[in-house]
Amino acid sequence: MTAVLDSVAPQKGRRLAQETGAVFCSTVDELLETSPEYVIEAASGTALRQIAIPCLRAGANLVVLSSGAFADERFLNEVIETARECSKKIYIASGAIGGFDVAQAAQIAGDLQVTMTTEKPPRALQGAPGLKGAILSEDPKSEVQEVFRGTARQAISCFPKNVNVVASLSLATLGLDQVSMTVNSNPSLTSNRHIVVLEGIFGMARIEIQAKPSPNNPQSSLLAAYSVLSLLKKIQSPIQI
Ligand SMILES: NC(=O)c1ccc[n+]([C@@H]2O[C@H](COP(=O)([O-])OP(=O)(O)OC[C@H]3O[C@@H](n4cnc5c(N)ncnc54)[C@H](O)[C@@H]3O)[C@@H](O)[C@H]2O)c1
């Protein structure tokens, strides 16, 4: 059985449930009454905070897209502890980027440095708290503008809806205070561009992804939904690559 929970836009959730033959739920309790084996969070950091502990306690494994919520170490530790107690897992989907396998092997090799640059069209960044009310130029002839440079943790508080990718990369490697991030606004872009650079004892890797925005939400990536499907497929497979 599949179920959809959307307590913020129930009409949207109902439509999605209808289109996919899923059961619609308007509360977390209703969702948990369906005894899910996996709960996939594709909503927001706030939603993740609401559902993570109850889902794990009810016996569900958790698949997460809004990984930026784990920048709150207290919440992260509570979720990890609950998963341990309940013998359940938390899976962070690769979302809009990739290369976590290389990054994790490179970290074990040692002396790793991780930097990430995310470049997005201005409309994907407008309204972020890190812009402090500034409006980014959307004129395609205007220059690329650096709007943030700092640690992954700072990036998440400045661009909470845009940079879950760097939270996932940091959790996979050095942690949120050791991964560096730059965010650029590029009016000539139609896709989001993410560049991850890894340097260490293993050598050097540069991973570049041009991820098309989701047709329904320019702040999000089309690839993110497919990363969840690929993760679920991998979990079920007897061979793990
Ligand atoms: N890790 C990544 O690479 C990555 C990539 C893309 C999106 N994301 C994150 O995934 C999340 C979903 O992205 P999206 O593009 O699908 O967003 P979206 O806004 O298109 O859809 C989110 C849906 O969740 C619902 N929702 C919001 N809060 C809820 C709550 N508390 N309980 C139940 N439902 C709730 C909304 O009504 C909406 O229908 C966002 O937090 C986004 O930042 C992460």
pLDDT of residue 214: 85
* Cβ(43) – ligand 1 distance below 6 Å: yes
Note whether 160 and 129 are within 8 A (CB). yes
Q: Is the pLDDT reported for residue 155 higher than 90?
A: yes
Q: Is the pLDDT reported for residue 19 higher than 80?
A: yes
Tens of pLDDT, residues 182-217: 999 999 998 899 999 999 999 999 999 999 988 877
Least confidently predicted of 33-37, 94-98, 122-126? 122-126
Rounded mean pLDDT of 163-170?
A: 96
- What does the mean pLDDT of the chain come to? 96
How is residue 231 written in tokens? 């993760």
* Cβ(227) – ligand 1 distance below 6 Å: no
Q: Which burial class, exposed, middle or buried, applies to 77 when counting CB atoms under 10 A from its CB (0-12, 13-18, 19+)?
A: exposed
The model's confidence at residue 161, banded by pLDDT at 50, 70 and 90, is confident
User: Distance, CA 44 to ligand 1 centroid (Å)?
Assistant: 4
Looking at the chain, the whole-number percentage of residues with pLDDT higher than 90 is 92
* Cβ(66) – ligand 1 distance below 6 Å: yes
Note whether 97 and 171 are within 8 A (CB). no
CA-to-CA dists, residue 84 to 23, 37, 39, 73, angstroms? 29, 16, 17, 16
* Cβ(4) – ligand 1 distance below 6 Å: no
From the candidates 194, 196, 198, 228, which is the catalytic residue?
194
User: Distance, CA 43 to ligand 1 centroid (Å)?
Assistant: 3
Best of 24, 63, 65, 191 for a ligand 1 pocket test (most atoms within 8 Å of beta carbon): 65
The model's confidence at residue 224, banded by pLDDT at 50, 70 and 90, is very high
- pTM for this entry: 0.95
Best of 39, 44, 165 for a ligand 1 pocket test (most atoms within 8 Å of beta carbon): 44
Looking at the chain, the whole-number percentage of residues with pLDDT higher than 70 is 99
Q: Is the pLDDT reported for residue 168 higher than 90?
A: yes
Residue 219 catalytic? no
Tens of pLDDT, residues 100-129: 999 999 999 999 999 999 999 998 899 999
Best of 8, 12, 53, 192 for a ligand 1 pocket test (most atoms within 8 Å of beta carbon): 8
Q: Which atom of ligand 1 is nearest to the CA of 43?
A: 24
First-to-final CA distance of the chain: 27
Phi, psi of 10, rounded to the nearest 5 degrees:
-60, -30
pLDDT of residue 63: 98
Closest by alpha carbon to 153, among 170, 136, 139?
170
Note whether 95 and 168 are within 8 A (CB). yes
Q: Which long-range contacts link 41-44 to residues 24+ away (Cβ below 8 Å)?
A: 41/65, 41/66, 42/66, 42/224, 42/225, 42/228, 43/6, 43/8, 44/161
Q: Is the pLDDT reported for residue 218 higher than 80?
A: no
Rounded mean pLDDT of 142-159?
A: 96
Q: Is the pLDDT reported for residue 219 higher than 80?
A: no
User: Distance, CA 162 to ligand 1 centroid (Å)?
Assistant: 11
Beta strand ranges found along the chain (DSSP E)? 3-5, 23-25, 38-41, 61-64, 90-92, 113-120, 145-151, 180-185, 192-200, 203-211, 213-214, 217-221
Tens of pLDDT, residues 43-92: 999 999 999 999 999 999 999 999 999 999 999 999 999 999 999 999 99
Residues 6+ apart with CB under 8 A from 129: 157, 158, 159, 160
